[in-house]
Amino acid sequence: MVIDAVFAFLHFFGIGCLVAVLAMQTALLSTTPTPIERLNRIDLGLGLSALLILGAGGARVAWGLKGIDYYWGNPVFWVKMALFFGAGLASVPPTLAFFAWRKELTAKARFQPPADQIKRVRLFIKLEWLLLALIPLAAVLMARDLP
Ligand code: HEM
């Protein structure tokens, strides 16, 4: 029971961190000049939060109160996993863009990303928000063996 509570706490802590860093990225992408170094640092925070969520979520599946079979046979669990990995995929183009911008910045101190690239990154971040918004819905249904 205590182990389950610890992993549940870590799961929610990771979710809180992820939402906070994604909100920071969203806000920083509309500031000028674009804070390239900060975006890269925050992106690392995004990755670490996702790892914490995955680790704690995986631990709840493996060692949680309901047992692994409860989740394995639950289609909503797999919908939740697909949404999570979809959000992970949507985060790849922004990460690659932040890396590329940092490289350009190292070569040219006054470098600023072109508007069309910022727009594209913002689009992927919007997609991340959309997928992330659907995950808690899948989570509450999954936890109650619904529909
Ligand atoms: C951003 C991604 C995620 C979000 C926002 C999220 C959200 C949630 C929420 C809100 C709950 C509580 C549901 C409830 O008790 O009503 C929950 C529970 C849970 N999550 Fe996640 N989750 C995410 C990713 C994951 C991943 C990747 C895994 C597995 C690898 C996972 C496994 C679980 C498990 C096993 C539970 C316990 C459900 C139960 O009580 O039966 N979650 N999640």
**What was the pLDDT predicted at 49?**
98
pLDDT tens profile 65-99: 999 999 999 999 999 999 999 999 999 999 999 99
User: To 10 degrees, the CA torsion angle through 66, 70, 76, 80?
Assistant: 60
Mutate to test the pocket of ligand 1, among 1, 80, 91 (most ligand atoms within 8 A of CB): 80
Inform me whether the pLDDT recorded for 1 exceeds 90.
no
Q: pTM of this prediction?
A: 0.95
Q: What CA–CA distance (Å, rounded) separates 80 from 63?
A: 19
| Ligand 1 neighbours (beta carbon < 6 A) | 11, 15, 18, 53-54, 57-58, 60-61, 64, 66, 71, 84, 132, 135-136, 139-140, 142-143
Q: Indicate if the alpha-carbon torsion angle 115, 31, 132, 90 is positive or negative.
A: positive
Q: What is the CA radius of gyration of the chain?
A: 18
How far apart are the CA of 139 and the centre of ligand 1, in A? Answer: 5
Closest-CA residue, ligand 1 atom 11, reads 139
Q: What percentage of the chain reaches a pLDDT higher than 70?
A: 100
Which three-class secondary structure string do you get for 56-91? HHHHHHHHCCCCHHHHHCCHHHHHHHHHHHHHHHHC
How far apart are the CA of 99 and the centre of ligand 1, in A? Answer: 30
| H-helix or E-strand spanning residue 130 | helix 115-143
Q: Indicate if the alpha-carbon torsion angle 54, 123, 16, 48 is positive or negative.
A: positive
Inform me whether the pLDDT recorded for 30 exceeds 90.
yes
How far apart are the CA of 104 and the centre of ligand 1, in A? Answer: 39
Provide the number of structural domains found in the chain.
1
Per-chain mean pLDDT for the chain? 97
Range(s) of the domain holding residue 62: 2-143
How far apart are the CA of 11 and the centre of ligand 1, in A? Answer: 7
